[in-house]
Chains A and B, each alone.
Chain A
Amino acid sequence: MSLKHSLFHALAIKHQDEIYEYARYLLRNASDAEDVAQEVLLRAWSKMGTFNILSARSWIKRTTHNACIDLIRKREATTNKEYPLESIEQKPESADGPEKQAETQELQAYLHEVIEQLPDNLRNVFVLHELQGHNHRQISKILQIPVNTSKTHLMRARQQLRSQLKAFEPAHEK
């Protein structure tokens, strides 16, 4: 295996889930997110050696963001198709009773839904910071926004999330 192959392999293993997760929240669709993840990794493969491997994470995230935006624009231009929210993967059996499990699953699904329904600018910052662990300086580079804007968006996203989750009631309690 060549050095290029080895580096790419390491890069793909390390970042593929992050790329997919970010794309999934931006696109709100599993198969599109998978396509974007594939496209980003292929771009990474063809650009290997042209970008700094030490700042690969930011490069990858920026490329993912752009690929998602391109896809959203294409989607808007071609159809008015609604992309339904996919059901969240089944959680493995736990020691909790079935009622508790159902409630947890419901809350998980609701949480994903709430994040996905955040306004684009707030959601991008929230996912990058909260789920993917980027700091505001990195987010500012990835999204090309000022650091303070990133901070404000994060605060607003958190506030929206809190008020949305306060309204959550499990189905069986309604």
Chain B
Amino acid sequence: MKSNLSDRVIDKAIRVAYGEAHFWERMQVARWAKDDTRILLLIEEHRQVAEMIRAMDRYKLEDDAFRNRILHSIEKENANKKRPFLIASGLAGFATIVVLALLLPSKIKVEETHPYSRLEIEAATDQVMQALNLVSYAVNDTRDLVQNDIVEQRIGSTLQKSSQSINEHLLN
């Protein structure tokens, strides 16, 4: 009874059957096969399996449907990649608003330490101007009165009368 074929022999026989063996390996296996017909049978069986595998229908994707799925996914992924930028810019805008909101009231407070608003100051300025105008008018009026009425007419005429009476006394 023949012993079992060694792994080395089986391996080389399979390589011959699958057409992967080098020239020297093929020669070696042919020599072994002369002495042992089991090797020939092994080669033939593996050759048939190899042919079946080569002729086998292959699993394939439905090209268009799959490609559309991929393109759709890529577009989605690109949109997702842009989303963080949008979120970041949104957050930056929000942060700016918050910072400004925190800073501006303190500035306004500084300005608010002044007791009057700009409009109130302008109104007060107008009132002061009006008051000054009134005073100026009164002063001018008084000056005219003093110059024209009091100095000229009352004091002047009295002095004139006095000087006339002195002249008359002196002449007489």
Q: Give A residues with C-beta under 8 Å from B.
A: 12, 16-17, 20-21, 24-25, 30, 33-34, 37-38, 41-42, 45-46, 88-89, 91, 107-108, 111-112, 130-131, 151, 155, 158-159, 161-162, 165-166
**7 residue pairs A–B, Cβ–Cβ below 8 Å:** A12-B67, A16-B67, A17-B60, A20-B61, A42-B74, A91-B57, A161-B53
Chain B 6-50 against A: per-residue CB contact (8 Å), 1 yes, 0 no? 010011001000100000000000000000000000000110110
Which residue of chain A has its CB nearest to the CB of B52? A111
**Range class of the B interface residue count:** 20 to 34
Residue from the set B7, B49, B52, B53 with the largest chain A CB neighbour count within 10 Å:
B49
Chain B nearest CB: distance from A105 CB in Å? 9
Whether the Cβ atoms of B53 and A111 lie closer than 8 Å is yes
- A40→B59 CA distance, assembly (Å): 17
Whether the Cβ atoms of A158 and B57 lie closer than 8 Å is no
Which residue of chain A has its CB nearest to the CB of B7? A155
- Interface of A, helix, strand, loop or mixed by DSSP: helix
Known contacts A38-B73, A42-B73, A111-B52; is-contact A21 B45 (Cβ 8 Å)? no
A45: which B residues are within 8 A, CB to CB? 74, 77
- A88→B53 CA distance, assembly (Å): 15
A42: which B residues are within 8 A, CB to CB? 70, 73-74, 77
Q: Which of B11, B61, B74 contacts A37 (CB 8 A)?
A: B61
Given contacts A34-B61, A108-B56, A158-B46, 5 further A-B contacts (CB under 8 A): A16-B67, A20-B59, A38-B66, A42-B70, A162-B45
Tell me, yes or no, whether B69 is within 8 Å of chain A by CB.
yes
Known contacts A158-B46, A165-B52; is-contact A20 B70 (Cβ 8 Å)? no
Which residue of chain B has its CB nearest to the CB of A89? B57
Chain B nearest CB: distance from A36 CB in Å? 11
Chain B 113-144 against A: per-residue CB contact (8 Å), 1 yes, 0 no? 00000000000000000000000000000000
Chain B nearest CB: distance from A20 CB in Å? 5
Tell me, yes or no, whether B58 is within 8 Å of chain A by CB.
yes
Which residue of chain A has its CB nearest to the CB of B42? A162
- A46→B80 CA distance, assembly (Å): 12
- A91→B58 CA distance, assembly (Å): 11
Whether the Cβ atoms of B49 and A17 lie closer than 8 Å is no
Which residue of chain A has its CB nearest to the CB of B63? A16
Chain B nearest CB: distance from A23 CB in Å? 9
B58: which A residues are within 8 A, CB to CB? 17, 21, 131
B61: which A residues are within 8 A, CB to CB? 16-17, 20, 34, 37
Closest 3 interchain pairs by CB?
A: A21-B59, A24-B59, A20-B61
Whether the Cβ atoms of B73 and A130 lie closer than 8 Å is no
Chain B nearest CB: distance from A111 CB in Å? 6
Known contacts A16-B61, A38-B73; is-contact A130 B11 (Cβ 8 Å)? no
